[in-house]
Chain A
Amino acid sequence: MTLLLESLFNGAAIGSVLLIAALGLAIVFGLMGVINLAHGELMMLGAYTTYVVQSFFKLPLLEPLFGGYIFVAVVVAFLVSGLVGLLLERSVIRRLYGRPLETLLATWGVSLILQQFVRTVPLAWSTGLWLAAMVALAGPLVGNRLWGLRQRPWLLRLGSWVVAAAVGVAAAGWIRGAMPKLARASARNVDVTAPRWLRGGLDLGDWTLPIPRLVIIGLTILAVVAVYWFLNRSLWGLRIRAVTQNRTMSDCLGIPTQTVDALTFGVGSGLAGVAGVAVSLLGSVGPNVGGDYIVGCFMVVVLGGVGNLWGAVVASAGIGVLTDVIGAGRLLEVWPQMPARLQQGVEFFATTSMARVLVFALIVLVLQVRPAGLFPQRGRMAEV
């Protein structure tokens, strides 16, 4: 019984990381037909953001609040990755709608650039850059309201760029001084210090639940609920779904389809950032951290089927439990006297990487029966 529970919990833990990582990917793929190979790197940005936020909270001023930095990190990571995603959509993806294979390659190019970016640019400067971009974006909005600059748009634009640049440089300079660790770029991994309440485990009799895992499961549930609410209950969610079903018609109805595209991609990317926070709790953070998770995300999307939140949930739960059952050789514990040959087989696959091998084989088998995933999309669009 405990065995079953343990397996379920571990499966849920693995699955929740998969799910939170895959959520953004699945949304963007399902709604826009775009596979974003830079998704892993957006996660990486989220993880680095956690590191930066945590460094801020180590400053004397914020030290007392250190326990709560994780919540700030979730929000900031969402904004960081979301903003990068937004820029990505505006500059590259937009030109490539309807050409999914090209999008795939372009986003891969972006992922290379992002990886190399964090290797070569100090975090202090990256933070400054991001702040500058936020100011530059927000400037016109604020300026329009406050100073009646509406009549002279060029001045407004110029002004916000200048202010943005100043803010960026000042922030970067200050961070360099205040947090020497962020001043130099390095390809080496960094470690996020978890607040005390996040360390250790929850004792349940003879069995402890690691708290970070619990937190990630909670975060994932939160993210899924939020996404569900956003897509199905909010006005913009309605618009997004409308555009997915019939772009031309939505255009005619006055839905700003371009904004919808940008928003969808931005939200998907932002979720990658949140996933990055989760990932940073599990291990050290480096430029390659995204690559470790991205293929798992693909498996979830392929297995779950496109355009269905539940597909992603079920698929990641299934993959999670299976990975644990195979990877930890649970079959041996349940059935110790199994024949020697079988036992050899089970032991052969009882590592994380071999479990992945078997899970992939199983997925290919499932696809033989259900080619469009567990929850396929129907309709004229779906076939082609």
Chain B
Amino acid sequence: MPTPGPGSPLLELAGVSVSFDGFLALKNLNLQLAAGELRAVIGPNGAGKTTFLDVITGKVRPQAGDVYFRGRSLLGRNEHQIARLGVGRKFQSPRVFEQLSVQENLALAVSTPKTPMGLLRRHLTGAQRQRIHHLLEVINLAPRAHHRAGSLSHGQKQWLEIGMLVVQAPRLLLVDEPVAGLSDAETERTADLLRSLAGDHTVLVIEHDMEFIRRLQTRVTVLHQGQVLCEGSMDQVQTDPRVVEVYLGAGQEEQP
């Protein structure tokens, strides 16, 4: 398998278009992500951010364009195949398995190989247990490890899903609105967690919370009507007149 050279991007979307019955949710979208990068994506509601993740994870098939992950096209692959290549995703509204305990949720995420026989025959390795244990501490759910995930609060579910994402050890983490419904302190912790993951992992974060994005201290891509509007640091982006226009002045208030 050809390993991509250091210069080539980990993820590349080339001219991706998605149309839902004629409505173009993504229009000729181009985007590149270098290995180890932390990237924030913002955009008004309906800009196509979630759809963009759907395309990467194989849930939606684009009408045009191609998606490359580590030099290989992802088109025509199923969700689970893409996930096994090392693409993990956190959904916009938390989706955890409510009937299972917190620990069991994490155990499902960490298991390899993810086949019936793999689950029946092999036990979790020591390293995997260790990872679960560690993650439980990180996401502050250690005391609730044996509680049903359904009994968690909204914020805790968000955390659990982030935990499931991290424990999978994917190369690329796609994080859709991780701090919606979290308190300020938790928001800060999430930002720190994601920042600490970057480097070893490549992380793409979608969020509406500008304070959070600012705290990530990283490159920001603005999506609007299915296209990249502009790209740059938070300060650059916020002063860009097009962005200000799109957000109808919301960007101006953010400025100190």
Contacts and interface: CB of A to CB of B under 8 A. Distances in A.
Interface string A327-364: 00000000000000000000000000000000000000
Interface string A371-384: 00000001100010
Interface in B55-81: 59
B253 interface: no
A378 B59 CA distance: 14
A378 B21 CA distance: 8
Interface in A65-121: none
Interface string B19-49: 0110000000000000000000000000000
Nearest to A378: B21
Contacts of B59: 383
B235 to A, nearest CB: 36
Contacts of A379: 20-21
Contacts of B21: 378-379
- Tell me if A's interface is mostly helix, strand, loop or mixed: loop
B36 to A, nearest CB: 33
A383 B59 CA distance: 10
Nearest to B60: A383
Interface in A20-75: none
A48 to B, nearest CB: 44
A379 B25 CA distance: 12
Contacts of A383: 59
A379 B19 CA distance: 11
Interface in A109-168: none
5 contacts: A378-B20, A378-B21, A379-B20, A379-B21, A383-B59
A237 to B, nearest CB: 21
Contacts of A378: 20-21
Contacts of B20: 378-379
A383 B57 CA distance: 15
Interface in B97-142: none
B25 to A, nearest CB: 11
B78 to A, nearest CB: 14
Nearest to B21: A378
Nearest to A380: B20
The 5 closest A-B pairs by CB, nearest first: A378-B21, A379-B20, A378-B20, A379-B21, A383-B59
A249 to B, nearest CB: 16
A134 B21 CA distance: 45
A101 B59 CA distance: 25
A34 B20 CA distance: 26
B255 to A, nearest CB: 36
A271 B228 CA distance: 52
B172 to A, nearest CB: 23
A375 B182 CA distance: 43
A285 B110 CA distance: 60
A18 to B, nearest CB: 30
Nearest to B59: A383
Nearest to B54: A383
B133 to A, nearest CB: 34
Interface in B1-34: 20-21
B53 to A, nearest CB: 14
A244 to B, nearest CB: 16
B251 to A, nearest CB: 29
A145 to B, nearest CB: 46
A376 to B, nearest CB: 12
A196 to B, nearest CB: 53
B192 to A, nearest CB: 34
A259 B192 CA distance: 52
Interface string B224-239: 0000000000000000
A379 B60 CA distance: 11
A16 to B, nearest CB: 31
Nearest to A383: B59
A378 B60 CA distance: 12
B176 to A, nearest CB: 15
A379 B20 CA distance: 7
B243 to A, nearest CB: 28
A215 to B, nearest CB: 40
A378 B61 CA distance: 13
A2 B207 CA distance: 68
A9 to B, nearest CB: 37
B3 to A, nearest CB: 35
A378 to B, nearest CB: 6
B54 to A, nearest CB: 10
Interface in A308-341: none
Interface string A182-204: 00000000000000000000000
